[in-house]
Amino acid sequence: MATGPMPRPRPCSGIVRARMSAARLAADIVDGMRPAGWLLACIGLAGTACYPITGWRETLSSGICALAVAIMAMVCSRSRPRGTASVAISRRQANIGERIDITVTVSPRGRSTIGGTTCAIMIDDSREALTLPSMQAGGAATFALSCVASARTVLMIGPVMIGTGDPLGFCTHEHVLAEPQPVYVHPSVVPLRSRRCGASYGTEGVADGTMADDDFDFHGLRDYVPGDDLRQVHWPSSSRTGTLMIRQYEAVRHMHTGLAIDLDPQGYAGRQEFELAISCYASIGAHCLRIRQSLVAYAGDRRIDAPHTTALLNACSAIEPLAPSGDGMSYAIHALSRVQCSCRIFIVGSAWDIAGASPLTQSTAHDGVLIAIRVEDGAAWNVRRIGRMVSVTMGALDDLPLVWEVISWR
């Protein structure tokens, strides 16, 4: 059945926009009212409401005065702040335990002046008060702060806020002078070694012994066969032997790695074990990107597109446990089952049953290496093979380099 064109949405009328603006303004004023301001407004409303009942002019005059003072306080709190602020951070990426230096500079706006007042800066969840001196136009006040990156997180530095209000303190309003800036506190990582064994391994991006007519690694020469590209003729050897000799190369096969981590909190014994899994995940992912392997990374059911190591570590700083799945199946298995790659690695916690990966090992849609890393805080590391899968148990991040060398040879 044919239908007509969809009706265009009618633009908001001026009355609707005015009502929305008034509602936002009222919400801001209500948020800035202090208890003394609410008491003053109640006195004003009570005085004006009692006048028709009592007929006392004193109640009317006191109510009008109280309401006038309350309105004046609201207007003063909405005044434009007279200052500007800038925040300089010593580093945007930090490791756990490193110090982060913060410099806050506050200056008057234009030709205005700033009297002795207080502004504040938020450092993650803490609020730091900064007492501003009296400043004339062109002056500036600089504050040096510092904090220590105590745990993996995305640390928000800012915003810088300054309060405006009436002289009597009935109503105040905080204005943002500088927007928040993120500092990525990276998880702990360990360097991993690439396996170097001549031409016998190709999954790390080096020659694996397969010959090719055109590649990067020169191997040797062979006799000319009709149809060969004459650009590959090695003329010095051809002139010595009297026959055409063709260059031959070792084929290079690059590894496509799929990496996933289970974010179900029920799969881990505690926060420390979860952080160990994140560190293993970040170490392996950073190693793959460092040696220019193609990496497909999943955190739970979310894909992480990281073109370089710093981007991956920044993304790892923001990883948090997901809500429990409730079906006993990890998000990591679902993510890896959709990935076509030559090596798949998934990382789970101690409460996770490695046998649950059997659907992946029995899948005929995927070839290559399958590695399951199970982290258990304090456990001794071991490596064993279950069918097509290499099962790893490890209890400390320092075990990962040795474990990586062992599984690289399997």
Q: Where are the domains of the chain?
A: 23-77, 83-186, 207-252, 256-408
What pLDDT is attached to residue 329?
52
Q: Between 333 and 69, where is the model more confident?
A: 69
Query: What CATH code would you report for 83-186?
Result: 2.60.40.10
Q: Between 243 and 110, where is the model more confident?
A: 243
**pLDDT tens string 271-329:** 999 999 999 999 999 999 998 888 999 998 788 999 999 999 999 999 999 876 655 45
- Within 10 angstroms of residue 361's Cβ, the number of other Cβ atoms is 14
- Quick one: 256-408 is in which CATH superfamily? von Willebrand factor, type A domain (3.40.50.410)
Nearest-CA neighbor of 309 among 394, 192, 391? 192
Lookup: tokens for 283 = 């170490």
**pLDDT tens string 156-174:** 999 999 877 777 778 887 8
